[in-house]
Amino acid sequence: MKPILRTLTVVLVSLLALTGVAFAAAEQTNSSLPSGQIVNGLYARAAETVTVNGDVTGDVWVAGQDVEVNGTVRGNVYAAGNKVIVKGTVTGSVHAAGSTVEVDGTIGGSVYAAGSEVSLRDTSRVAGAVALAGSKVQLGGDITQQVYAAGSTVDMSARIGQSANLAGSDISLNDQAKISGDLTYRSENEARIANDRAIGGSLKHDEVKQAEHNPVRDKIVAALFGLAFNIVIGLCLVIWGTRILKASDTILATDLPAAVLKGIAFTVLTPLALLFVAITIIGLPLAALGAMFYGSLLILAPALVSYSLGRYILVITTHKDSKKAPNKFQAILAGSLVFTIISLVPIVGGLAEFLLCAAGAGALIARGFKPLQTHS
């Protein structure tokens, strides 16, 4: 499973790097490179919708709600978003992360992708290796080198030049699938293979065994995923929620103790209040709405406090003598890293993480969301 973990690590690094370079066009709602237009050098964009139809001689770094790369890229592609589609020709490798990731083009390097639904289409051509991780993985096309795929469901119709390593609860190979090398799969169930003769090498089924519990490793892995999630939420706030960031940062800078106390009260008392409301049938819909609001605020709180923490760090380290405010993306990145490091400190890390989250929650509710109307 090391290749799968390497896939997630590559995607995480890509997300971290995206926050550092994508601010060049972060204020745009839509960003498009028209067909026929040529860009020499790095092409970095972040917007609600990013479309690359032109040609780029260099690497492409893109992030947004919907991201689509249709042109020719003479370099690598790094993409993150809710929906990511790569259909063009890429001479290098593709690194993609999103809720839905689709690769359907000619790739000169390798493909590394992670998401809820990840697919490599039947018309795709990959000269390198492929590593996919997701809840639902569809694996097709012609792949020259080895394949690694992990998901709850893995459906394969690809033609693979070397070996394939698969992991999942439901693994199937249809009659179009062909593997020149060995097939090794890890699952609690038998894989459904339409044609055993399409496997050129050996077939090996590794039974799933109870994973060895390692608290330190589990905590580090959880922290890394939390870091990636916090950066993504922070990226969204920088692009679409600047007023919330500014208002919360002002409250944290001017009245931190009050924000912490309000956040603790909100975090502890709200579940009790929702439980009391939910006891009655009439209050059940209201409790459901309250629970959604409560969960949303807890998701936003770490990103808000990370931004303020990162901005403070940048001010005292690199912008002490500068009148220019620190870059918002850099603040989110720096603050999220420090937030994660603090959470990993034994014994006191958990308490510190709780207090920081409480501060973010308290800052958000301090004005009853008035910053949405009063700040520009």
- 302-349: per-residue pLDDT in tens? 999 999 988 888 888 775 555 666 788 888 888 899 999 988 888 888
230's CB contacts (< 8 A; 6+ apart) are 302, 303, 306, 336, 339, 340
Tell me what pLDDT residue 132 has.
94
Domain boundary assignment for the chain: 2-206, 215-374
Helices (H) and strands (E) in the chain, counts: 8, 22
The pair of three-digit structure tokens given for residue 322, joined into one six-digit string: 């500068």
The pLDDT value given to residue 17: 44
The pLDDT score that the predictor gives to residue 24 is 41
pLDDT for residue 350: 87
Residues 49-60 pLDDT 10s: 999 999 999 999
- pLDDT at residue 367, rounded to an integer: 61
Tell me what pLDDT residue 365 has: 83
Distances (CA, A) of 216 to 4, 228, 345, 350: 20, 19, 11, 14
- Max CA pair span of the chain: 70
Degrees to nearest 5, angle at CA 10 with 88 and 182: 80
pLDDT (0 to 100) of residue 77: 94
Cα torsion through 297, 303, 308, 314, rounded to 10: 180
Percent of the chain with pLDDT over 90: 43
Q: According to the model, what pLDDT value does residue 16 have?
A: 44
Judge if pTM exceeds 0.85: no
Q: Name residues of the chain where pLDDT drops below 70.
A: 1-28, 208-212, 280-283, 319-325, 367-376
Q: Which two tokens stand for residue 196?
A: 């055993």
What local confidence, expressed as pLDDT, does residue 149 receive? Answer: 94
> For 343-369, b where at least 16 C-beta lie within 10 A, e where not — what string?
beeeeebeeebeebbbbbbbbbbbbee
- According to DSSP, the β-strands at 178-179 and 159-160 are parallel
Work out the number of other CB atoms within 10 angstroms of the CB of residue 202: 10
The pair of three-digit structure tokens given for residue 63, joined into one six-digit string: 């992030």
